[in-house]
Amino acid sequence: MSSYHLDHLQYLETESIHIMREVAAEFERPTLLFSGGKDSICLLRLAEKAFRPSDIPMPFLNVDTGHHFPELNDFRDRRAAELGGKLIIRKVEDAISSGIAVPTPGEISRNRLQIPTLLAALEEFQFDCAIGGARRDEEKARAKERFFSFRDSFGQWDPKNQRPEIWNLYNARVNPGEHMRVFPLSNWTEMDIWEYIKHERLEVPTIYFSHKRQAVRRGGQWLPVTDILPPKEKEEVKDLVVRVRTIGDIISTGLVESPANTVDDIIAEIAAARVTERGSRADDKSSEAAMEDRKKQGYF
């Protein structure tokens, strides 16, 4: 292979940096959605690569459902501070009290309630663009989404009427009240993410690695026992050695039994995996079109 050749991570990296810089140059008030999860950790490194030695020219935004893993939030706050970035947090709890987000009777999951909370935050700060860490390999509806994904004034995605995206010429034009979601990691796979984490020696929250946790078996998955998710009567609580593969809310994130202690272990585990990453997310299983429906309403 000649020296003038990029390997797959270098290729994905240069594509993502180009997209990050287009956002900084084309939008007036962009933000970067940072949860502390593995994908958004890569996003931040790509932002460093795109903008250093300058400051990253946009604040970070996170919608806190109140059901986050505490390890994740600690990591999020620390990483944002290390990078000298401004971190804006908007809570579903507050959106419920102010009436912006209304739970249906008996609704425990905060998944749906993130949508109005996020849209209210975008409006509050007049953000015209939000960079997210979604990848097309995650899910069928995401597989059809553009890098620059237009949202109307209600925050809705219209999959049938997407702007054609040709070459690397991204159409970033929006009218007031509309916004763009931009996904620089669209072409990355779960494996690419971990290989990049390894290559860049990026720190990730400890829950991605093997640890002991109490869990109950529900709907074919192991869910962590917490105050929000106490065991039901007759339900057996097990002490397991687990890790998380993808992080959602603490009540819907399936734990994977795993001895993987290092990034290398995780890469080997994914290479041998027989189910997809989102196979461990209860929020996607509710129906064949679960993600499509949420995205249309303004989900990440």
The site for other proteins (CB under 8 A) is made up of: 1-2, 4-8, 10-15, 17-18, 21-22, 24-25, 48-55, 136-137, 139-141, 143-144, 159-160, 162-169, 171, 173-175, 186-187, 189, 191, 195, 264, 267-268, 271, 273-276, 279, 288-289, 292
* Smaller CB separation from other proteins, 110 or 278: 278
Work out how close the CB of 195 gets to other proteins at its nearest, in angstroms, rounded to a whole number: 7
| 139-154 residues labelled b (16+ CB within 10 A) or e (exposed) | bebbeebbbbbbbeee
Nearest in space to 14 (alpha carbons), one of 46, 59, 48, 54: 46
* Smaller CB separation from other proteins, 163 or 217: 163
Q: Are 181 and 132 in contact (CB under 8 A)?
A: yes
Q: Are 180 and 214 in contact (CB under 8 A)?
A: no
Distance CA 243, CA 208 (A): 5
* Smaller CB separation from other proteins, 63 or 193: 193
Work out how close the CB of 124 gets to other proteins at its nearest, in angstroms, rounded to a whole number: 24
What is the DSSP code (8-state) at residue 206? G
Work out how close the CB of 59 gets to other proteins at its nearest, in angstroms, rounded to a whole number: 15
Query: What single string gives the DSSP state of each residue in 241-280?
Result: EEEESS---TTTB-EEE----SHHHHHHHHHH-SS-GGGG
* Smaller CB separation from other proteins, 11 or 239: 11
Work out how close the CB of 70 gets to other proteins at its nearest, in angstroms, rounded to a whole number: 28
Q: Are 19 and 47 in contact (CB under 8 A)?
A: no
* Smaller CB separation from other proteins, 276 or 297: 276
For residue 62, the SS3 value is strand
Work out how close the CB of 198 gets to other proteins at its nearest, in angstroms, rounded to a whole number: 9
* Smaller CB separation from other proteins, 64 or 137: 137
Query: What single string gives the DSSP state of each residue in 105-169?
Result: TT----TTTHHHHHHHHHHHTT-SEEE----GGG-TTGGG--SEEEE-TT----GGGPPP-BTTB
Work out how close the CB of 100 gets to other proteins at its nearest, in angstroms, rounded to a whole number: 28
Work out how close the CB of 196 gets to other proteins at its nearest, in angstroms, rounded to a whole number: 12
* Smaller CB separation from other proteins, 91 or 285: 285
Nearest in space to 12 (alpha carbons), one of 147, 133, 187: 187
